[in-house]
Structure 1
């Protein structure tokens, strides 16, 4: 059924209200997006700061592993993980989180390396502070700016990746509402006869990802002193 006063965004091929499904699909997208972003960013923060602080063989081996993971595009790695563990919301979260971790770790490590060389870190070591205290009290707070920017960016990337997996039939499965599934059902069979089935979920994905991208840019401008002073 086409959009009307009864169904503002129309109904899908099974007569289900599009607006209701988009709203419930937003819950799925945000759960996946924030879960992947928080877990990947937290793991990347630990690996990045630890690698930069301890250096040596730990840094060498860890960077080698991260390079191997980053050699594969995010969606390809996610497809491989889903193929191993299966579909479903929890497995999709795992599949998207794994390739996001090295991306955060590399950026955090880069910031932490510059902080490791500042005089007050040497002064903290000279005072006899332990490694954990130096990392938690001096290094982690100084890498929070890039960490928060990455956290925001990862939400949008994870939502887009989840929609892609669901569209391919390898992500969230029915009866759980997901924008990728809605897009799949509308694009394949009803693109010409009922285009609203695919248009509105596509707009939801695009606007959500674009919104998180804008928020990330604004956060970067607010946290970067060079950009803030312009």
Structure 2
């Protein structure tokens, strides 16, 4: 209860955090109430209404297939956040225990896993993402799994760095002297103290995952039409922008900006909240 009061107080005192919470609330509303908020079907094409500018009938206009852009943006919130949050959650679940183990037990296996992470992170993100998606198929869950593979080394490295710092602390030596097992030391004493950087990284990683999802769809390596997805919508209207048809790409592009900004602001707020020196100074 005390931690919740501290969180609410922190949000009230920081306008940026408040903006992030408001933007997140708007996205949650769009996810939950998409059928009520949309005015047209997000996947039903109407060639007669192709490339219509914003109007009372189509609030944000239509794309080249005649699909309503406003309705597709609303439904795309579900797709983009589902992929991004699922990918980061899976990466967190995999990366944290791996980082804990390779940080606590040092040896050949730990070094081998670190070299594997080096290999994965040495590839350009989009190149590796394109390769994995092309092998697994352009489905929503496949994109989420690919992003999870890309993010897992980051969480593992964060936890490993914290574990390497904590495992030699006096309170860990005291736990060993009291007869605590390795499992007890890792999960009761080290892990709770090592989680903060990874938890802060979650919000930032979701924003990165949204950008990667949109980027993969933009270059044709993400989800496929007619699935409503922001990057795919930007891609479908990119060629028409030079002809003055600006609305097809502009509005889904703004949706990407708002969503990424939301999680960036929340990540900064979480970082400040987790830093005791910052809380004291403020």
Q: TM-score range by the shorter chain?
A: over 0.9
- Listed as ranges, the matches of 1:50-199 within 5 Å are 50-199=101-250
Number of residue-to-residue matches in the alignment: 230
Q: Structure 1, unaligned stretches of length 5 or more?
A: none
Q: TM-score, normalised by structure 1?
A: 0.95
Residues of 1 paired with 2:119 and 2:99: CA distance? 16
Cα offsets for 1:52-80 (capped at 9, x unmatched): 11112232222111111111232222112
Summarize the alignment of residues 6-17 of structure 1 with structure 2, pairs less than 5 Å apart: 6-17=57-68
Deviations 1:153-205 (A, max 9, x none): 11111111110111111111122211111111111235423210000010101
Which whole-Å deviations, capped at 9, do the CAs of 1:95-150 have from their partners, x for residues lacking one? 11111111111111111111111112122222222222211111111112111111
Partner of 1:18: 69
Normalising to structure 2: TM-score of the pair? 0.78
User: Partners of 1:226 and 1:73 in 2: how far apart?
Assistant: 36
8 Å Cα contact 2:59-2:70 kept in structure 1: yes
Report deviation, 1:16. 1.6
Q: Which runs of 5+ in 2 are unaligned?
A: 1-51
Q: 1:221 to 1:140 in 2, by over 3 A?
A: same
Alignment partner of 1:229 is 2:280: yes
Distance, in Å, in 2 between the alignment partners of 1:162 and 1:48 is 25
In structure 1, C-alpha distance between the alignment counterparts of 2:70 and 2:196, rounded to whole Å: 37
Q: Which residue of 2 aligns with 1:47?
A: 98
Q: Measure how far apart 1:41 and its partner are.
A: 1.4
* Inter-CA distance 191–27: structure 2 relative to 1 (3 Å threshold): farther
CA distance in 2, matches of 1:191, 1:228: 49
Moved more, 202-211 or 7-16: 7-16
